[in-house]
């Protein structure tokens, strides 16, 4: 369920009839995420609670529950398409994610990144507590290049510690967010997740194109406001051939042009909803974000976000 305005809501099965709890939980999860099949090892007298924060496509769910198995099959994906990503951060107990013939186990000190556009199973026993951040597919795929396979992130050192702390703080400060602040905090978490994902990819066998892709994405994030930025300029600035840049991004399902446009649109949207920048006109926002044509900016913005720049700016009023 998407909402543009920031909301925070707590839900629990505690006060329900025990015979209704499992059915209630299936509907509650469907509302917050997508369609699953469920297995309740402990029977229908199921206990669980959530605290849900959401705004503008981002959502953070803090939950605890009895043991349960969630199954996201090809059939459910067909019936309820959803390509968003979930960053799963357990802080008590363990969760197992199974994809094809492999599996990963998540425990405190780790996080898992998975797409609900891929069939998988998520299983856990009793007394598990975790945080689950929904990352919109457009943000995860177009700008940060998250792959479809489940990935494990180490939260025990360096950037991982920072990432884990930010997710925990996002939940702890749930009562102190405005819509724009929540969105900005989520985007910073996505940036850190992207950095950790890139490092994980680079440590594997396919280091060449992964390293090129990671550098290209960082370069675009830093220079998207330069109107002359394009694939050729990226290649020259980083010392690679244009073909290398194109192949690296093709591997991630995008192109230099799409990546640059997506980053410019994200930056423009940030500026439009930032109260400190409301003195900037829409044209000034467009040019400051790297667009050279106001009409092209308006058309691209509407296609990407389903609203005009003026509509989004109006959210500040």
Checking if the pLDDT of 78 tops 70, the result is: yes
Average pLDDT, the chain: 88
HSE (side-chain half, CA atoms, 13 Å) at 31: 13
Checking if the pLDDT of 12 tops 60, the result is: yes
Helix (H, G, I), strand (E, B) or coil at 41: coil
Reading the block at residue 279, the tokens are 């003195």
At residue 194 the predicted structure's pLDDT band, cuts being 50, 70 and 90, is: confident
Rounded CA-CA distance 124/196 in Å is 25
pLDDT of residue 204: 47
Checking if the pLDDT of 147 tops 70, the result is: no
Give the pLDDT confidence of 34-48 residue by residue, as tens digits. Answer: 999 999 988 878 999
Give the pLDDT confidence of 87-121 residue by residue, as tens digits. Answer: 999 999 999 998 876 788 999 999 999 989 889 99
Rounded CA-CA distance 286/296 in Å is 10
Checking if the pLDDT of 1 tops 80, the result is: no
Give the pLDDT confidence of 235-251 residue by residue, as tens digits. Answer: 888 888 888 888 888 88
Checking if the pLDDT of 169 tops 90, the result is: yes
Looking at the chain, the number of H-run helices and the number of E-run strands are 12, 12
Q: 68-72 and 58-65 as β-strands: parallel, antiparallel, unpaired?
A: unpaired
pLDDT of residue 265: 93
Render the burial of 239-261: b for 16+ CB within 10 Å, e for the rest: ebeeebbbebbeebebebeebbb
At residue 28 the predicted structure's pLDDT band, cuts being 50, 70 and 90, is: very high
pTM of the shown model: 0.71
Rounded CA-CA distance 164/316 in Å is 30
Name the E strands within 107-256.
Answer: 110-115, 120-124, 128-135, 151-154
HSE (side-chain half, CA atoms, 13 Å) at 91: 13
Checking if the pLDDT of 203 tops 90, the result is: no
Checking if the pLDDT of 23 tops 60, the result is: yes
**Of 63 and 205, which is predicted with more confidence?**
63
pLDDT of residue 138: 75
pLDDT of residue 205: 38
Checking if the pLDDT of 207 tops 60, the result is: no
Name the E strands within 66-177.
Answer: 68-72, 85-92, 95-99, 102-106, 110-115, 120-124, 128-135, 151-154
Residue located via tokens 């090892």: 41
Is residue 265 within a helix (H) or strand (E), and if so which, with residue range?
A: helix 256-273
At residue 219 the predicted structure's pLDDT band, cuts being 50, 70 and 90, is: confident
């Amino acid at each position: 369920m998407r909402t543009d305005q920031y909301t925070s809501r707590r839900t629990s099965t505690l006060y329900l009839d025990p015979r209704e709890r499992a059915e209630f939980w299936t509907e509650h999860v469907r509302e917050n995420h997508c369609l699953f099949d469920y297995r309740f090892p402990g029977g229908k007298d199921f206990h669980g609670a959530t605290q849900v924060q959401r705004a503008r496509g981002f959502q953070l769910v803090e939950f605890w529950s009895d043991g349960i198995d969630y199954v996201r099959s090809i059939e459910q994906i067909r019936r309820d398409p959803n390509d968003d990503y979930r960053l799963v951060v357990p802080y008590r107990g363990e969760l197992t994610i199974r994809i094809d013939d492999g599996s990963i186990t998540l425990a405190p000190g780790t996080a898992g990144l998975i797409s609900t556009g891929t069939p998988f199973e998520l299983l856990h026993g009793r007394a598990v507590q975790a945080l689950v951040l929904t990352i919109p597919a457009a943000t995860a795929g177009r700008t940060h290049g998250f792959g479809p396979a489940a990935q494990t992130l180490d939260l025990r050192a360096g950037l991982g510690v920072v990432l884990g702390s930010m997710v925990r703080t996002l939940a702890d400060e749930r009562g102190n967010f405005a819509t724009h602040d929540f969105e900005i905090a989520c985007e910073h978490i996505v940036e850190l997740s992207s950095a950790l994902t890139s490092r994980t990819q680079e440590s594997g066998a396919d280091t060449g194109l992964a390293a090129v892709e990671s550098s290209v994405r960082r370069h675009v994030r830093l220079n998207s406001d330069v109107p002359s930025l394009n694939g050729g300029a990226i290649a020259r600035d980083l010392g690679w051939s244009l073909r290398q840049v194109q192949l690296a991004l093709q591997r991630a399902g995008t192109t230099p042009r799409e990546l640059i446009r997506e980053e410019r649109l994200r930056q423009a949207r940030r500026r439009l909803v930032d109260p400190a920048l409301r003195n900037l006109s829409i044209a000034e926002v467009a040019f400051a974000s790297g667009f050279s044509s106001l009409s092209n900016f308006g058309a691209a913005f509407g296609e990407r976000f389903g609203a005009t720049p003026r509509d989004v700016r109006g959210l500040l009023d």
